[in-house]
């Protein structure tokens, strides 16, 4: 009798685990039939355009996203001040091979790297020396003095995860100038960070190391990198003329844009979702990271539109200055710590707006296992990858506060065709893939909110 009574008492507890299949389907259905996310991205890209930190377009994007969240009925929308770098490109770059025995003088498709100093009107004219890595520069040592160093290390095409290939190759773009400068080089030319062979140069940040000379840096297209390498193999003493007019100005005031929906049960627990509002000054910043921003706003809008009252406080953040400083993400984490805020999770989208495949995460193993247990809700929508460890750049400063971090993972195969280029425009984003991404992010935030982490 007692055993039977004990088993009856267990029945409510055993059946308590809530099934979220129906709500997740409603979220996907809503996004695929009623979402304004694509039109919002169009406005950001076409009416505002590229949004480099410190630019008038970045300021316009701040106001646009602030107004958008206010119009959608977020409980609170506010601006978080942050001082950001103010780098300007100036007039179009010139990168010219001047003495080819085979082709004569000809132009290379080039673009100055972000944060680079310029050559000024006098330019730089010097012999070119090709290397495949920073290690090779350091082995050559003073042999590069007075020369232009050409970094021609390729992204590894055998790595199916293109972000892994990028991570291995991008060190030459980030630190190659300082490593060449310490050995006396006059400038550097970098192979663009893409597996694709084309004529489009890719910009991106470089980092000057303290106490080392600052020398100009440009990237050239992969087709031109291949051509330059072939010419160097046939002709010693090949020379390049470079002229750039970029400069770093004084830091300027900008803002993170923050919208909140207050939690009904645990308002002190914060779940953050966001992307970075700034972009490079070429293209329209559609994949990097306009789509991530618009999908993040959709998370909040969908909760409001569908009448989902979150248990925990949902905070949507448009981070400023990811591309050439990470000032927005750093300031957000600093303020959170200063205020003693309790973030339980943060989700970022900054890997493009292609079809969603899953989520990477960083945190305690039991937290990761819990998220992996939710895969059943996503597999009907072809979202299946939950194993990879990782998170987004803007939310990474929250790691030291014990926050569970996540990043949505879209299909990575085409991202580096557009990354940091003139080709990253609204037209490069597929409407349905963007809507699927918004639905996937909203569903994950819903599950974290309902179940905790």
Which H helix or E strand runs over 62? helix 56-71
Encoded tokens for 295: 């999908």
Which of 388, 301, 405 has its CA nearest to residue 343? Answer: 405
Largest CA distance in the chain: 99
Catalytic residue check, 322: yes
- Outline where DSSP puts E strands in 341-383: 342-348, 356-362
Task: Please check whether residue 359 is in contact with residue 409, taking contact to mean a CB–CB distance below 8 angstroms.
Answer: yes
Element (H, E) at 248: strand 247-261
**Annotated catalytic residue within 93, 130, 298, 322:** 322
CA distance 101 to 214: 32
Distance, CA of 141 to CA of 393 (rounded, Å) = 33
Looking at the DSSP bridge assignments, the partners of residue 275 are: 318
Q: Indicate the helix (H) or strand (E) that contains 407.
A: strand 404-410
CA separation, residue 69 to residues 300, 318, 434 (Å): 8, 11, 19
Are the C-beta atoms of 256 and 82 separated by less than 8 Å?
yes
Chain-centre distance of CA 240, in angstroms? 32
Give 188's strand partners. Answer: 149, 217
For residue 154, how many other CB atoms are within 10 A of its CB? Answer: 17
CA 23-29-35 angle, to 5 degrees, is: 115
CA separation for the pair 45, 427 (Å, rounded): 10
Find residue 87's DSSP bridge partners: 248
Task: Compute the distance between CA of residue 261 and CA of residue 266 in angstroms, rounded to an integer.
Answer: 12
Q: At what angle do helices 431-451 and 291-305 cross, to 10 degrees?
A: 60
The C-alpha torsion from 195 through 201 and 207 to 213, rounded to 10°, is: 120
| Residue 151 and residue 112 in contact, taking contact as beta carbons nearer than 8 Å | no
CA distance 352 to 436: 13
Active site residues: 322
């Amino acid at each position: 009798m007692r055993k039977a009574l004990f088993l009856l008492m267990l029945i409510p507890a055993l059946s308590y685990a809530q099934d979220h299949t129906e709500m997740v389907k409603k979220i996907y259905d809503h996004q695929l039939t009623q979402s304004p996310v694509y039109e919002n991205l169009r406005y950001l890209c076409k009416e505002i355009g590229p949004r480099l930190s410190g630019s008038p377009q970045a300021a316009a994007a701040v106001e646009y996203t602030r107004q958008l969240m206010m119009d959608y009925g977020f409980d609170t929308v506010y601006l978080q001040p942050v001082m950001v770098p103010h780098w300007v490109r100036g007039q179009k770059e010139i990168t010219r091979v001047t003495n080819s025995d085979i082709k004569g003088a000809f132009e290379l498709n080039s673009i100055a790297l972000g944060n680079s100093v310029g050559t000024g009107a006098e330019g730089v004219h010097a012999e070119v020396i090709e290397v495949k890595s920073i290690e090779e520069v350091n082995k050559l040592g003073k042999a590069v003095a007075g020369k232009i160093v050409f970094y021609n290390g390729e992204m590894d095409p055998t790595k199916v995860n293109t972000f892994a290939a990028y991570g291995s190759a991008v060190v030459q773009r980030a630190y190659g100038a300082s490593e060449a400068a310490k050995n006396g080089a006059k400038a550097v030319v970098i192979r663009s960070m893409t597996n694709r062979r084309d004529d489009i140069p890719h910009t991106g940040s470089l980092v000057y190391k303290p106490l080392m000379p600052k020398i100009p840096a440009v990237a050239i297209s992969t087709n031109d990198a291949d051509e330059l390498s072939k010419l160097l193999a046939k002709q010693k003493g090949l020379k390049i003329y470079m002229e750039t007019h970029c400069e770093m100005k004084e830091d300027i005031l900008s803002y993170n844009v923050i919208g909140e929906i207050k939690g009904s049960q645990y308002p002190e627990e914060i779940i953050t979702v966001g992307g970075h509002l700034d972009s490079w000054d070429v293209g329209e910043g559609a994949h990097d990271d306009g789509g991530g921003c618009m999908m993040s706003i959709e998370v909040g809008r969908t909760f409001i539109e569908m009448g989902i009252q979150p248990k925990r406080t949902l905070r949507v953040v448009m981070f400023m200055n990811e591309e050439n400083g990470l000032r927005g993400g750093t300031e957000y984490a600093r303020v959170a710590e200063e205020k003693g805020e309790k973030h339980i999770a943060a989700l970022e989208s900054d890997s493009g707006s292609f079809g969603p495949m899953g989520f990477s995460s960083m945190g305690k193993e039991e937290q990761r296992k819990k998220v992996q247990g939710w895969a059943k809700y996503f597999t009907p929508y072809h979202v299946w990858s939950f194993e990879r460890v990782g998170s987004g750049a803007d939310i990474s400063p929250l790691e030291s506060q014990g926050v569970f971090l996540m990043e949505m993972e879209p299909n990575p195969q085409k991202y580096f065709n557009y990354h940091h280029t003139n080709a990253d425009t609204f037209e490069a984003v597929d409407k349905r893939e963007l809507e699927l991404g918004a639905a996937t992010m909203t569903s994950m935030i819903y599950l974290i909110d309902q179940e905790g982490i």
